[in-house]
Amino acid sequence: MPTEEMKSRAERLVTRAEALPNLGMMQRAEQAVILAQETAALISAMCQRLNDMTPYIDEV
């Protein structure tokens, strides 16, 4: 995933997280779960990118 796309996804997650207090309790809970899932997916993509940039220890 390109850097700009990661930044854009992260910014959207922050914006949505900041809006949580304005929602009702059930809607807030649902959105919090969705945000957690999307955050985990973004972190996974970032970790994969770091792995791709790092040489394997066995190869060094």
Is the CB of residue 10 less than 8 Å from the CB of residue 49? no
- Residue 49 clears pLDDT 80, i.e. is over it: yes
Query: 23: alpha, beta or left, given left = phi > 0 and alpha = psi -120 to 50?
Result: beta
Residue 7's pLDDT is: 94
Residue 18's pLDDT is: 96
Cα 31 to Cα 7: distance, rounded to the nearest angstrom: 20
The pTM is what? 0.81
Q: Average pLDDT, stretch 11-23? A: 96
Residue 36's pLDDT is: 97
Sign of the torsion formed by the C-alpha atoms of 25, 31, 37 and 39: negative
Locate the DSSP E strands across the chain. none
